[in-house]
Amino acid sequence: MTDVTAPDRALVTDPGSIPPHTLRRVVETALEEDAPWGDVTSETLIPAGATATATLTAREPGVLSGGGVFVSVMHAVDPAIAAEVHVADGSRFVAGDHLVTVQGPARSVLRAERVALNLVQRMSGVATLTATYVAAVAGTRARIVDTRKTTPGLRALERYAVRCGGGRNHRNSLSDAVMAKDNHLAVLLADGVDIGDAVRSARERLGHTVHLEVEVDRIDQIEPVVAAGVDTIMLDNFGPDELVAGIEVVAGRALVEASGGVTLDTVAAIAATGVDVVSVGALTHSARALDLGLDVVVTA
């Protein structure tokens, strides 16, 4: 087994952190898309009794996410495939490390190969990018969190990958919290509704367990929003000096989230201002797939 080290602050988790019904739906949909009437190539060329051993190998360094998902794809195609995961999700690896080994009917391994690879490469890319952002804010109070800018249908997997990289998750869906952003405020303004009054009314009608967050893009908007009783205020596209000034206005009455155009070049300076949360859409919308390969050896 490869000697690995988990990234700082990583929440190393297991595939059980992805709801089983969600994972099953993703895998079934992907397999149906890839082989709606079977794998014609393997069924034509590969002997029915052939067996194969395949090793998932890193071609570049990174943080693993999706080892269990990789195995789940294999098992969805054929429960007879045996699997051994060598590196835990949330762990770092280097080029050449063996991550997962599977063995079973060759036709089944070959049918599952591309879907299994696509998912683990995508998830590991998200985890690796997240770990880089987390490392950039080390020593500050700021948490790196994701956004809803995820690949449709893959949100649960990509958010799990963010956790594997040491990041945290924002609200999962529109159903999870009240979060008034710029377009909501624009509608209220057009209707002549004062934002402070709107937030205060929402606070009175919401249950005590429902989180209330409001986005602002000017310092003068902060006081009426915080005074109305928000749990979190998002300071959108504020520069470092503006963030410091905004935090002073909030004065500990709400969590402060920085958002908007956050990059690896700017995240350290943003975190150093003392914000509680830095939300980064790039964790999921701009992560590239990691270069992992599956080396297959087929025996008759």
The structure tokens listed for 106 are: 């060759």
Active-site residue flag, 215: yes
Q: Exactly one of 236, 242, 253, 291 is catalytic; which is it?
A: 236
Q: Exactly one of 9, 148, 149, 253 is catalytic; which is it?
A: 149
Lowest mean pLDDT among 108-112, 191-195, 276-280, 286-290: 191-195
pLDDT at 19 over 60: yes
Q: Exactly one of 9, 181, 200, 203 is catalytic; which is it?
A: 181
Return the DSSP state at 235.
E
Q: Is 36 exposed, middle or buried (0-12, 13-18, 19+ CB in 10 A)?
A: exposed
Active-site residue flag, 114: yes
Q: Whole-angstrom Cα distance, residue 291 to residue 293?
A: 7
| pLDDT tens figures, 37-64 | 999 999 999 999 999 999 999 999 999 9
**Sign (positive or negative) of CA dihedral 267, 268, 272, 273:** negative
Q: Exactly one of 9, 14, 78, 114 is catalytic; which is it?
A: 114
The structure tokens listed for 45 are: 């060329």
Q: Is 278 exposed, middle or buried (0-12, 13-18, 19+ CB in 10 A)?
A: buried
User: For residue 174, what are the contacts with CB-CB under 8 A and spacing of at least 6?
Assistant: none
Q: State pTM to two decimals.
A: 0.91
Which 3 state secondary structure label does DSSP give 294? strand
Q: Exactly one of 39, 113, 213, 215 is catalytic; which is it?
A: 215
| pLDDT tens figures, 131-142 | 999 999 999 999
Active-site residue flag, 236: yes
